[in-house]
A and B are shown apart, each in its own frame.
Chain A
Amino acid sequence: MDTTSSCDNLHPLEIAVLGVFGAHPAGAALTTDQLAEATKLESSQLSMAIEWLLAKQLLAITSETVTPVVSLTAVGKSYIERSSPLDRVLSAAREASSTGKRLTIADLQTKEGLEPSDVSKAVGRLKKEGALLVVQGGCLESTGRPSPSVEAMRALLCDLDEAPRPLESFPEVQRALIHDYAVKRGSAREPFRIEERTTRSYTLSQAGAAAVTALAGQAKAEEVAQLSPDLLKDGSWRTKRFRKYTISLRPPRIAAGKKHPYREFLDAVKLKLVSMGFQEMRGSLVETEFWNMDALFMPQFHPARDIHDVYFVKEPARASAVAEPFFSRVAATHEHGGTTGSTGWGYRFDPERAKRLVLRSQGTAVSARTLALSPSVPGKYFSIARCFRYDQVDATHATDFFQVEGIVLGEDINFRTLLGLLNLFAREVAQAKEVKFVPAYFPFTEPSVELHVRHPRLGWMELGGAGLFRPEVTQPLGVTVPVIAWGLGLDRMAMVALGVHDIRELFTDNLDLIRTTRGAF
């Protein structure tokens, strides 16, 4: 065994016990009592320390002796105050004799409050010793002779009041009395208890001796638990020893201040887009149907505009107005194409419907607003917009969710540069080298394309949709260059990164989950 390390891990109680052995000649056997006296430890602490040292095989038991020890019981302790029944019976008899009164056994019970069994035992013993006579009529009389039992009882109560003593230390008379008045089976109410006490003596094992030697070397320094400003101020840390810790234990938990893992994911996307030259757009959670749908050339009879797909606002239900000239231009485009070269949808545009307020259902609404605000050409824009869908909530459908969307404007924008941009997204956002472009349908783009990528971990997945905005969208809003509209579907990537299987958990209220999720992007 490595003594130094075992020495380092010793508890202060163990060190105290070993210290006593160190003060005795080598090989000395010490008893529990001797150790108790020398260490000044409580008996429970001492026996704990001895147990540990025995377990570590630093101490060994050399001998074990069993000694009967006498102590006072609770009854015995009460005799110190009130005297023993023996004493009280004799005193009562003497008093009766001197006053000439009659004293019966019944009197002793009623007047002295003694137990019948105590009375009969005392009377029997005193009669035998000749200190008491039972005369006619059951009256007790004192003979005037002393009682050795009463004397011995007084002396014992006095002696044992301080501490228990070995039975052997008492003279024969007292020992006999103790035996007569000790707690035994069938007579629990007695003043004395005789117990067998095991006294062990211990010596140091070889390892123990080594530990003592090692400790002696350290003994000069006092051990402290904690470095303190005072120790540093006066330099006294130099003379202290710092108890070593068991550092393999788990530390207490603390809650770190940190970002939400889903937000971190969105931050990473945001950073990517900014680094690719995109400018952020912001929009409103509540929108008119005009900006949410009409401006995107979705006809008012479009199935997706039904009451079942969008949340409508209760109060106010409608916007007071929609900004011109966009309102008239979009209405004309829907009806007959306006000046866009389109045939339009060929129906009567309902201006009241256009003013209806809805919870934004697509991020493209933000793009439409931007197009109407004289955007830069060339220009790249993105938004991470909260959108709302009137949909049954389940593991793949959330009632509100983020859409990552945007636009790219420029003279050089065409179908091929659209594909080029999507290639860039595949590489930068999904780290994908393989892509597939699949024809798609969106009401506001033509041509439209879906971007499928081979994600390094997720395999083939749909990363997003895009297209060239229809001229029916851009021209009424005052934009004459071609515009790419793109959107990325990142929820699946986010869910995998966060290790959740239910889209609703992205907004979880489970703090433990939020605290423990690392997020791997």
Chain B
Amino acid sequence: MPTISIFKSDLESLLGAPGEPRTVSIDELQEWLTLVKGEVKGYQADSGELRVELQDSNRPDLWCCEGIARQIRIKFGGTARPYPFLSKQPGRPPQLLVAPGLDRVRPYVAACAATGYRVTEQGLAQLIQTQEKLADIFGHKRKTVSIGIYRLQKIRFPVTYELANPDDARFTPLGMETPMTLSEILMVHPKGLEYGSILAGQSRLPLLRDAEHRPLSFPPIINSREIGEVLVGDDELFIEVTGTDAAMVVLTLNIFAANLADRGAAIQPIAVRYPYETPFGKRVVTPRDIGRPRPIQIETIERALGQELGATVVKEALETYGYHVSTGKQSVTVKLPPYRQDLMHAMDVVEDVAMSLGYGAFSPEMPSQFTVGGLSRIEQLSDRARELMVGLGFQEIISNILGSPDHYRDAMRLEGTEWGKMVEVRNVMSSSFSCLRQWMIPSLLRVEAASARSFYPHRLFEAGEVAIFDSAHEVGSRTETVLGAVIAHAAAHFSEIHSCLDACLYYLGKTYGLEPIPHPSFLDGRVGTIVVSGTPIGLIGEIHPEVLERWQIAMPVVAFEVNLSRLEQVV
């Protein structure tokens, strides 16, 4: 999903022990990245910048240099580094007080402080990138989760998370020179304009302030410039996460805490006090270990992977992938590290076992059970019709199904008619791709209109799917397979296309009749419905000169169209 930018030297220092970077070649790195479902998309040797794409949308902890390094480091170091901030610390942690009413606006908050890590240029770039990627992709453009990072020494505890009057509360936001009220920020500030819709309809707005009433930020919109602008060289940080999903808020904070701890910071937990109930209670100390032990049968893992492994191998594989594991006789009990929350089913653990062992550790084996292959009836009929059309001298065409009402309906003179009904797209990107074709002949006229220089005669056909509007159907339309054919040359004539239809239906074993009808796309008196056993299955005729004019085709065209799905059903 996300593509991130990291620096090779930064990655190397995170891969090694503190002060001892572990150098890595790009080829080596590409190998290791399979552990995180990542791929190197670009490398600039002079700046050392790597562009890495991460696939797993359930592993936001991997969308940063620290997370990638951690997963690889655990694999090669054999064990995960402990995170002491998860265990109970002596003394009372600083407090973050939540005011009443936020449960109806943006209920959850988590925070911590990080000291002793001096922010480097590359470290700051990572911090900002992680903040953006998590809020944007994992946090649904800040709706579910947003993150603020501040200079700790400017903050007096307890910090309060409260609702403020939009016209009273004011501070100088990042990117501005003068104080603004919250209303003004929403109306003027670029971030206010971009994310303001998250707070639409709220009369009072979230505000984080410290014990001296200095605003930290207006979540999830913008930080205060005074307290919320982190610079290279800062070594005391305060991090908060607000959002609408308690678990996602805590997970996001855990990821930041782990990342900063990996860079050498000491993490100081914060106690959040709510006036309302949350999934974690009214007093929540964050970061918080939200993993739950989960027993899994060894046999479940072995059966899914098709290989006997035993408890020891499974335990080692999971431990070197960051899990906490204890073994029983026939089962393991696993717990995810604090920066992960993607264990929904035992199968998630199965994949991690396979990734940790490497897919190369599993030898491929052919499925052994016998099955009979075959084509659907409609595909068989379609293939037979295509063979016949080729034998009749027609060139096969293959077209887009998504097209424009101009082509499928208006140019065919079908506006307002039953034949002009079609499946149209609501979120149109380009009018050229805004509806599904309801018949085939326009697809062939499309080629005809573009190919006046190709030598004549033109004999074209296409067999393919169309969507026929049908409000009675489950999905409002029927997908049917039709065969369309056109002939174009100076003397193209009804009887010529009629002969082709006649031959085609003869060999398909269908007796048919033609019944004259009026149809706006064809010349009156030279068009008919093709009827088999009393069921209309298609059309044949000479294309109306006005249709040709609209397509800018300067050559007579005759055509037929047979609905193969319907033909297949008539006896």
Contacts and interface: CB of A to CB of B under 8 A. Distances in A.
B436 interface: yes
B360 interface: yes
B397 A260 contact: yes
Interface stretch (A7-15, A41-49, A217-225, A411-419): A411-419
Contact of A278 (B343, B363, B373, B423): B373
6 contacts: A255-B458, A285-B401, A286-B423, A316-B471, A410-B369, A441-B57
B391 interface: yes
Contacts of A443: 57
A388 B476 CA distance: 17
A416 B304 CA distance: 9
A280 interface: yes
Interface stretch (A98-106, A136-144, A511-519): A511-519
A460 interface: no
Which residue among A286, A345, A413 has the maximum number of chain B CB atoms within 10 Å of its CB? Answer: A286
A512 B476 contact: no
Interface stretch (B121-129, B349-357, B408-416, B554-562): B349-357
Contacts of B37: 439-441
A172 interface: no
Interface stretch (B76-84, B446-454, B507-515): B446-454
Contact of B374 (A274, A303, A341, A512): A274
Contacts of B395: 255-258, 260, 511, 514-515
A331 B423 CA distance: 28
A280 B345 contact: no
B500 to A, nearest CB: 11
Interface in B429-488: 429-430, 433, 436, 446-447, 449-451, 453-455, 457-460, 465, 467, 471, 474-479
Contact of B367 (A253, A273, A420): A420
Interface of A: 253, 255-260, 262-263, 267, 270, 273-288, 301-303, 307, 311-317, 319-321, 337, 340-346, 357, 359, 376, 378-380, 386, 388, 390, 392-393, 398-400, 408, 410-417, 419-424, 437-441, 443, 446-449, 468, 470-472, 482, 506-507, 509-512, 514-515
A330 B424 CA distance: 28
Interface in B114-170: 137, 140, 144
A482 B304 contact: yes
Given A279-B372, A312-B427, A440-B55, A343 B344 contact: yes
B103 interface: no
Most buried by A among B364, B453, B467: B364
A475 to B, nearest CB: 10
A283 B429 CA distance: 25
B306 A510 contact: no
CB-CB nearest 7 A-B residue pairs: A414-B306, A416-B306, A511-B451, A447-B351, A419-B364, A378-B369, A257-B393
A417 B402 CA distance: 38
A438 B359 contact: yes
A443 B57 CA distance: 8
Contact of A257 (B354, B355, B390, B427): B390
A413 B365 CA distance: 10
B305 interface: yes
Interface stretch (B172-180, B188-196, B270-278, B375-383): B375-383
A485 B394 CA distance: 37
B247 interface: yes
Contact of B479 (A262, A285, A471, A512): A285
B331 to A, nearest CB: 14
Contacts of B427: 307, 311-312, 390
A379 B371 contact: yes
Nearest to B303: A414
Interface of B: 1, 34-35, 37, 55-58, 137, 140, 144, 247, 303-307, 343-348, 350-351, 354-355, 359-360, 362-376, 378-379, 383, 386, 389-402, 423-427, 429-430, 433, 436, 446-447, 449-451, 453-455, 457-460, 465, 467, 471, 474-479
A340 B425 contact: no
B383 to A, nearest CB: 8
B345 A341 contact: yes
Contact of B375 (A277, A280, A357, A512): A280
A281 B373 CA distance: 11
B423 A313 contact: yes
A402 B399 CA distance: 11
A273 B396 CA distance: 23
A357 B451 contact: no
A376 to B, nearest CB: 7
Given A286-B475, A510-B451, A276 B373 contact: yes
A509 B426 contact: no
Contacts of B400: 398-400, 507
B190 to A, nearest CB: 21
Contacts of A380: 371, 373
Nearest to B392: A257
A472 B345 contact: yes
A423 B367 CA distance: 11
A319 B474 contact: yes
Given A278-B371, A417-B364, A417-B365, 20 more contacts: A255-B458, A257-B390, A258-B396, A279-B372, A283-B479, A285-B423, A301-B144, A303-B57, A313-B476, A343-B343, A357-B475, A412-B368, A415-B354, A419-B363, A419-B365, A420-B365, A439-B34, A507-B399, A511-B454, A512-B453
A299 to B, nearest CB: 10
B373 A273 contact: yes
B305 A416 contact: yes
B393 A400 contact: no
A275 B390 CA distance: 24
B366 A420 contact: yes
A386 B458 contact: no
B306 A415 contact: yes
A439 B359 contact: yes
Contacts of A279: 371-374
A446 B373 contact: no
A286 B436 contact: yes
